[in-house]
Amino acid sequence: MSAPDTQPVGGAVLEVRDLSIRFGGLQALQHVNLEVNEFEIVGLIGPNGAGKTTAFNCITGFYTPNTGSVSYRGRDVTKAPPHVKAAMGFGRTFQNVGMVKSATALENLKTAQHAKAGYDVMSGLLGLPRSWRAERALTAKAEAILDLLGLASIRDKRVGGQSYGTLKLLELGCALATDPDILLLDEPTSGMGPDESDELGERLLVLRKEFGLTMLVIEHHVPLVLRVCDHVYVLNFGRLLAEGKPSVIQTHPEVVAAYLGGEAPDALEATQETEEDAALDAQLEAQVHAAGAPEPDALAAQPEREPVAGAPRTRRKPTAAAGESATRTRRTMRKDTP
Amino acid sequence: MTLTASRPVSPPADDAHSSGGREFGPIRWLPRVLVIALLAFWVLVVIPRSETYAPFAADAVIFAIVGLSLNIIVGYTGQLSLGHQGFFGAGAFAAAYAITVQSLPFWSTFVVAAGVGALFAALLGVAALRITGLYLALITLVFGVTLQRSLFEVPEFTNGGAGQPAERPEWLFADGRFYLFCLAFLIGVVYIDYRLTQTKSGRALLALKENERVAEAFGVNVTSFKLLAFVLSGAIAGIAGALYAYRIGNVTGDDFNFTLALTFVLMVVVGGLGNRLGVILGATLFAVLDGYLLEEVGFLHSFTEQIFRTPNLAQYDAQFLGALGLLLTIVLNPGGIAQQIQPFTRWLSGKPFSLHGDSESGPAAVEGSHVRA
Amino acid sequence: MTPLALAPDTTYLAFEFSSRITTPVISGAINGAVYGLLGLGLVLLYKSNRIFNFAQGEFASVAAFTTYAGTAGFGLPKMPYVFAAILGVSAAVVVALLTERLVVQPLFNQPKVTLVVATAGTALLLIALEGFVFGAEGVGLDPVIAGDALTSGGLRVTNQGVFVVVVLAVLAALTALFFSRTKTGTAILAVSMEPTATSLVGIPVKRISALTWGLAGLLGGVAGILFAGNGGLLGPGALTAFALIPAFTAAVFGGITSLPGAFLGGVLIGIIQTLGARNIPESVVPDANQVVIFFVLLLTLLIRPAGLLGKET
C-alpha cells in the first residue's frame, strides 16, 4: 500500500494564485485563485463567457497569464508549454472535442500516449526492437481503454463520423491515455442527454477510484456538479465569485444572481441524492469491495474540505478494480512503467 | 444504468475483409505471388540489364526518393513546399563538392549531402514555425529560386556555370548497377517512411497537421516535430540530390530551376498525396515521361514539332503533359494514381478483387490527402 | 570616367552617388512599376478569392506573346502596335476567364492550397503552350513608345519607362476607385468575405468570380506587354521566373489586401532590388537582386505579415 511515490493525502495537486490575463481590451481573468487537492473532483462553473475555458488554457499552458502563477505539486509551472504539462500529468479535454478526426479511435488513443510512448523517434524510425515492443504495449493500453469505456466497436472506425456523445466519451479516453495525474475536463457532458450525463458522472467517480485521479471539471449540468464535485469554484466576468461545497454554492445568492440575473435562489435546480443514486452507490461499493479494495468510506462529500476519503491513498496505483475489464486495464496500464 | 467498467470485455472488432484475408489457400495466393514475382523480376533483373532502360529507371528511382521526401512535408504535415529543388540541388552540389574538391570517400559524400539538405530544410523549417499556409508556399518558392540563382552560382562551391563534376567510383560505372544502387537507397527510404507512419512520430505529425492544440494536449512538441519533418525531408532530398549528381556526372545550377520544384509537387499530387506507392508511381511516371518517352522515343515531340514547326520542344512536351495531368488529377480525381490502382493493390494484399475500395478504411485510405489552407 | 586613383573630389563623389544611388533608384522604380502592375492583379485575386495566383505571370506572358505575334505578322499582315496590344490584352483576359471556368470553379470548395497548386499547374501548362508556338529561344517585343525621355551621365530614362509608371499609377487609382465607389466593386469584396451570405442576398457569386478573374487577366496583360517592351528577350515562362516573384514580394510587402499597397510595394521593391544589385558585387553574392527579394519577403512575413498598408493578413 505504501509505495515510494506515496504523496501526503490531501496535498494540493494544482494551485492557481492571482491569475490574470488580458486580451487587448478584454480582461478575461482577474486575480483568480483556486486549488485542487489530491483525489478531489473540483467543479468550475459560471455563465458563458465567464472565463472558464480561458482559465483551463492558462492552467494547461496554452495561454501565458499576464500575472499570477500555476503550481503543480509545489512546482511553479506557469510558463511550461502544453506538451510539457501533458507529459507531467495534465490530461485535458476540449469544449468542442479535441481529437484527430481523420484517424481511427485506436490511433487517437495511441497518439494520446505520445509523451509516454517509451521509445525515441530514432529507434522508431529505424525499427529497433524496443519500439516494436513499446508499440504493442501502446495498442494494448488503447484497447483496454476502449473496453473500459465500452467503445470497442469503434476501434478501427474513423473518429470523424461518430456521434457527439461518443466523441466526448472517446475524448475522455484520450485524456486518460495520456496517463494523467490531474484531468481537466471542459464540459464533458455537452451534447449528452440527461441519462448519458448521469452515467458519465458515475464514470468519473469510478475513474477517480481506479486510477487515483484528481479532476478539475468545467460543467453546466448542475446535477452532475452536485453529484460528483467535492468543491466548486464559480467564475463570473473573469473573477472568482464564490467557492465552496456544491450544496452551499447551489444556494449562494450571488451565484444564483449571476446565472439568472437576480431571480429567486431556488431557481437553481436542486437535486438531492435520490434513492436511486444511493442504490447506485451501494452497487459501486459492492463491486469495489468484491475486487478486493480496502473498505472505502462513503463517497459523499465531506463536511469540511478534507482529503477525499473514498480515493486511493497512493498516487497512480489503482487500488480498486471494478470488474474484469478494469482489472485488465490496470494490468496493461502498468506495463508502460519501466 | 450500468457501469461500463463491469461489462464483460467485448471481443476485438473483426473487420469483414481482414478475416477474408486469413484463409490462405494456394488458389488465393498463387496468382498474387506470381504477379509479385513477375514485377520483382522485371524491376530487379530485366531493367538493370537493359542499356536503354537503366539510366531512365535510375532517374525514376531518384525522383521517387524526392517524391517521398516531399510527401513528408506536403502529405504528412500539410504544408506546401514549392522549394524542394533547393534541398535536392544543395545535396547534389554538396556531394559533387565533397568528392571532387575535397576528395572525400564516396560513401561519406552521401552523409555530407544529407547533412546539407537537412541544414537548409531546417532553416526553412524555422520559418515554417511562424509562417504557414499560402505564405509558406510563397516563401519556399522564393527560397528555392534564390538558392538556384545565387548560392548555386558561387564559383568556390559550384564551379560557376561550368558545373561541378561528380564521378562515380569504378564499380558503379555501369548504368544497370547504378540503378540497383539507387534502388537500394529507395528501399531504405521506403522503410524509414513506413516506420515514420507506423510510430509515434507519424501519429504526432498527423495530429499537428489537423489540429496543433490537440497535438499539444496529447503531449506532442509541435515545434520539434515540425522541424523533424523538415529536417528528415531535407536529408532525404539531399541524398536524392547526391544520387542525381552521380547520375548526371556534372552538376550545374540551371538543373534546379523552379519548374523542377513544380514538377516535384506535380508528381506527388498526381501520384496521390500521403500514399507511398502512389507517390513512387507518380514520380516514376514523370521521370519516364520526361526522360525516356519524350527524349528517347520522342512520341510527342515529333508530333508537336510538326504542328508548330519550332525545334527543341522536348522540354515543353513533358511540362505540358505533366501540367495537364496535374489539373485533371486535382479537378477530376483528387486521390491520384494511388486511388486508381487501389483495387489492384488491395487484391495483391490478399483481399478479393473489387472496384470499390474500403468505405470505412483506416490508415491506408487515400482520403484526407489535401493540403491545409 | 574619373580614374579611381584620383583623390575623391566632388565630381567623383557626384558620379559615384549617381551611379550607386540615383540611377538605381530611377531605373528600379521603373522596373518596380511593372512588379506593381502584376502585383495589382495578385492583390485583386487575393482580396476576392483568398488565393495566390501563380498563373498571373503567365497571363502577362500570353498578352506579350500575342502582341508580338500581332506585330510580327506570323504569315498574316502585320498589325499596328495598338491593335496588337489590344489583341494581347484580350488574349490574357480570355485565358484568365478560361482558368476561372475550368480550374477555379470546380475547385471552389477545396482547400485554398489545392487551388494554389492548380494555378501553378496552369502556369506550367501555359508556359508549355508558349514554348510550342514560339520556341524556347524567346522573342523581342518593341516598346510601346520608342526613344528616351532623358539621358544624363549614366542615367537613361526611356519613354517606355515613363509610360509604365504613368500606366501603373492610373490603373492602381482606377482599381482602388472601382472597389470603393462602384457597386460591382463592393460586391466583389462582399463575395470574398461571405460567399454563402452574398449568394443569399442575390449577388451572382459565379459571375462576380468570372469578372474578378477577367479583371486580373486584364491587369496582368497590360503588365506583360509593358514588361516585355522594356527590352530583353521574352521566353516561355520568363515573366513567371523574373517578374512573378518580385510581384508577389511587392504585393506582400505593400500589404496583400491593399491595392495602393501593391503600387507602393512594387516601386519600393524595384528600387531596393536595383540598389542591392548595383551595390553588392556579383563576386560576393551572385544575383544579389534575387537574394534581396528573398530577405525582404522573409522579413515582411516574420515582422509585419500585413505589409506596409495592409490591415489584415
The H-assigned helical ranges of A190-266 are 194-211, 222-228, 246-251, 253-260
Max distance between CA atoms of chain C, in angstroms, equals: 76
Residues of B in contact with A158 (CB under 8 A): 360, 362
Residue B38 lies in a domain: no
- The answer to whether A40 touches A14, Cβ cutoff 8 Å, is no
ipTM: 0.85
pLDDT at residue B125, as a whole number: 92
pLDDT at residue B84, as a whole number: 94
**DSSP class of A327:** H
Q: What is the mean pLDDT of chain B?
A: 81
For every residue of C50-100, DSSP letters joined together read S---TTHHHHHHHHHHHHHHHHH-TTSPPPPHHHHHHHHHHHHHHHHHHHI
Residue B270 lies in a domain: yes
pTM for the model: 0.82
B298 against A227, higher pLDDT: A227
- Specify the CATH number for the domain of residue B326: 1.10.3470
Q: Residue range B85-113: average pLDDT? A: 94
Residue B251 lies in a domain: yes
pLDDT at residue B114, as a whole number: 97
Q: Is A165 on the interface with B (CB under 8 A)?
A: no
Find the domain containing B285 and state its range: 52-348
Residues of C in contact with B269 (CB under 8 A): 117
Residues C13-24: pLDDT tens digits? Answer: 777 777 777 777
Residues of B in contact with A283 (CB under 8 A): 3
C-alpha cell recorded at residue C306: 500585413
Residue B30 lies in a domain: no
Residues A147-187: pLDDT tens digits? Answer: 999 899 999 999 888 888 889 899 999 999 999 999 999 99
Residue B41 lies in a domain: no
Strands A239-244 and A182-186: unpaired
Q: Residue range C92-121: average pLDDT? A: 88
Q: Residue range B54-77: average pLDDT? A: 92
Q: Residue range B24-52: average pLDDT? A: 82
Rounded to the nearest angstrom, the minimum Cα separation between A31 and chain B is 25
- Closest chain A residue to the Cα of B11, Cα to Cα: A152
CB atoms near residue A337 (< 10 Å) = 9
Query: In this structure, which amino acid lies at residue C130?
Result: E
pLDDT at residue B19, as a whole number: 43
Q: How many CA atoms lie within 13 A of A194 on its CB side?
A: 3
- Quickly state the pLDDT bin for A222 (edges 50, 70, 90): confident
pLDDT at residue B369, as a whole number: 40
Residues B295-342: pLDDT tens digits? Answer: 665 556 666 666 665 665 667 777 788 888 888 888 887 777 888 788
Full set of structural domains in chain C with CATH: 28-147+155-303 (1.10.3470)
3-state secondary structure at position A243: strand
Residue B264 lies in a domain: yes
Instruction: Report the alpha-carbon distance of residue B244 to residue B185 in Å, rounded.
Output: 12
Closest partner residue to A324 among B9, B203, B206, by Cβ?
B9
Q: Residue range A37-54: average pLDDT? A: 89
Residue B158 lies in a domain: yes
Q: How far is CA B269 from CA B6, B68, B282, B332, C120, in A?
A: 49, 11, 8, 12, 12
Q: Which of residues 253-292 of B touch C (CB under 8 A)?
A: 257-259, 262, 265-266, 269
- Quickly state the pLDDT bin for A336 (edges 50, 70, 90): very low
Residue B29 lies in a domain: no
CB within 8 Å of B150: residues ≥ 6 apart: C285, C286, C287, C288, C290, C291
Host H or E run for residue C293: helix C288-303
Residue A321 has pLDDT above 80, yes or no: no
Interface contact A114-B219, CB threshold 8 A: yes
Looking at the 3D structure of chain B, how many domains does it have? 1
Residues of C in contact with B308 (CB under 8 A): 132-133
